[in-house]
Amino acid sequence: MSQSLPSDHPHINPSRIGVVLLNLGTPDGTDYWNVRRYLKEFLSDPRVIETPKWLWWPILNLAILSVRPQKSGHAYAQIWDKEKDESPLRVITRDQAVALAARLAGHDDIVVDFAMRYGNPSTRSVLEKLQAAGCQKILLVPLYPQYSATTTATANDKAFEALGKMRWQPAVRTAPAYFDAPEYVAALGNSIRDGVAALDFEPELVITSYHGMPVEYLERGDPYYHQCYETTRLVQDYLGWDRDRLMVTFQSRFGPTKWLEPYTDVTLAALPGKGVKKVAILAPAFSADCIETLEEIAMQGRDGFMEAGGEKFAYIPCLNDSPGGMDMIEAVVRRELAGWI
């Protein structure tokens, strides 16, 4: 196009397409101040904590942020990637972006990157970088299989906030939740089947542990709870398993509010007393292993189950940047890029 322009025509840069994988976030280190900074940004989000600000502010700043950073920092230290000096979530999400870029290498006009809703690399910095690289079309891909206002919506909110400050604003698409996408169901089902086959024992029960949320959010219309159950149902059908072999639970509750049940930790502690002493567990709501999977489930969950009389416990990793996981992400991205490429 530029070769056919008149010699005195202003230069026009080629237009490119940006693809941004969006994930939750991570502190930059395990020390008190890095964790505190991260938690403050996370827990100040009105999408995450819907308590009125006048009530929540003193609770957060005078109580929670005085104590919780030490506890969370210790938990992060248990799973920290010491070689890269980063959390597994950031390492894996970067690996997913690199793998996706390689799969889309046939399209020279596509630039793939990743961003975090809380922490670094920030959504704003990545969008500004893509715009500077000539991306006038950007696909936002929240890496949350099931939709929730606390995850998908707030990730998009942060992107829209950054776009609102741009003079030359690119065209934007947002990828929808993919809880029932055939590629996701297949990837998850295959990971469960392969994960179980690799064990040295036969699980009496496989648990799909999803991140929890206050029941009040469900009552206000958040579809997350229903989509979690639908994912597990579709995976059961894909595997051809009986209904009593795959169970849904919810983890990571916070504060005195009633959260979605059944609770993962309570369930794990109760199962041995019911005669279920060999379990495998996975976390389908997470696209990448993180503190909630590697520390809360694989470590704390195992300890609680074994202390209650369990005999065998196995954690099946998230899809991460596995071939099956990347097949799924690539399929979602290509579908959402239709008409642009």
Cα separation, 8 vs 187, in Å, equals 54
DSSP 29-40: SSSHHHHHHHHH
Q: What is the pLDDT along the chain (341 residues), one digit of tens a residue?
A: 445 767 777 766 778 999 999 999 999 999 999 999 999 999 999 999 999 999 999 999 999 999 999 999 999 999 999 999 999 999 999 999 999 999 999 888 999 999 999 999 999 999 999 999 999 999 999 999 999 999 999 999 999 999 999 999 999 999 999 999 999 999 999 999 999 999 999 999 999 999 999 999 999 999 999 999 999 999 999 999 999 999 999 999 988 899 999 999 999 999 999 999 999 999 999 999 999 999 999 999 999 999 999 999 999 999 999 999 999 999 999 999 999 98
Cα separation, 95 vs 74, in Å, equals 25
Regarding pTM above 0.75, the answer is yes
Cα separation, 232 vs 114, in Å, equals 28
Cα separation, 136 vs 169, in Å, equals 7
> Same CATH fold, 182-315 and 16-177+324-336?
yes
CA–CA distances in Å: residue 319 to residues 270, 294, 296, 309: 28, 13, 18, 29
- Segments making up each domain of the chain, as ranges: 16-177+324-336, 182-315
Sheet holding 16-26, edge to edge: 110-119, 16-26, 135-142, 171-174
Torsion of CA 325, 331, 332, 337, to 10 degrees: 140
Burial class (CB in 10 A: 0-12, 13-18, 19+), 126: buried
Domain at 16-177+324-336: CATH code? 3.40.50.1400
Domain at 182-315: CATH code? 3.40.50.1400
Which residue carries 């297949």 as its tokens?
Answer: 186
